[in-house]
Amino acid sequence: MTAEEIEKYLGELNDELCIAGVKGEICLYGGAVMCLAFKARPATKDVDAIFEPVREIRKASMKVAEKNNLEIDWLNLAVKMFVVEHEKQILFDFSCLKVFVPERDYLLAMKVLAARADTMDLEDIEFLLSALELKDVEQVTGIVRNYYPHKNIKPETVFLLEELLQK
């Protein structure tokens, strides 16, 4: 999904919520934020988010999926177990749906802890390091510890960070 498609689908989600007489909130994560808010890449395969009210937004997202021939889990809660308290900013303030995104440093912390080789995580990390003007691994580990004080960064990710920061 491109940024334009995600914005369109979120607009349709808003319309479905209005029809149902429901007000909702969504906070986007992962690739959706990278392409929609940060313009760091052209597309993502799905939209990772947390949202309330869950039941009503799920029902509305299924209608959007049917209408646009999308996978039923185009909007999913898979990221929920990784989310901790963080600052958010409003990306869209639709009539029945507020869409938030996390600050760049929080998304970097999430990406560094996930750092999966078979995804866009590495490119996303590189973009975020540059956008945040980080120069050394200690700065990055400090950000991760700020949000996730009890999590350890994988040694291979530390090596990757050292490599990326030397460019």
The per-residue DSSP string of 115-131 comes to --TTSSHHHHHHHHHHH
Query: Are 57 and 70 found together in one domain?
Result: yes
Dist CA 91 CA 79 (whole Å):
19
Contact 144, 113 (CB under 8 A): yes
* Count of structural domains within the chain: 2
- Find the domain containing 137 and state its range: 105-165
Burial zone of 110 (CB within 10 Å; 0-12 exposed, 13-18 middle, 19+ buried): buried
Query: Are 111 and 95 found together in one domain?
Result: no
3-state secondary structure of 18: helix
Number of Cβ within 10 Å of residue 76's Cβ equals: 17
Parallel, antiparallel, or unpaired: how do β-strands 97-102 and 24-29 relate? parallel
pLDDT of residue 116: 80
Query: Are 150 and 89 found together in one domain?
Result: no
Dist CA 124 CA 79 (whole Å):
16
Dist CA 61 CA 9 (whole Å):
8
Query: Are 49 and 120 found together in one domain?
Result: no
Query: Are 91 and 111 found together in one domain?
Result: no
pLDDT of residue 67: 97
Q: Which of 102, 125, 147 is the last residue of a domain?
A: 102
Token readout for 45 is 């395969």
pLDDT of residue 56: 98
Q: What is the pLDDT of residues 34-65, one digit of tens each?
A: 999 999 999 999 999 999 999 999 999 999 99
Put simply, whether the predicted model's pTM sits higher than 0.85 gets the answer yes
- For the chain, percent helix, then strand, then coil, each to nearest 5? 50, 15, 30
- Kindly give the parts of the chain with pLDDT less than 50: none
pLDDT of residue 144: 97
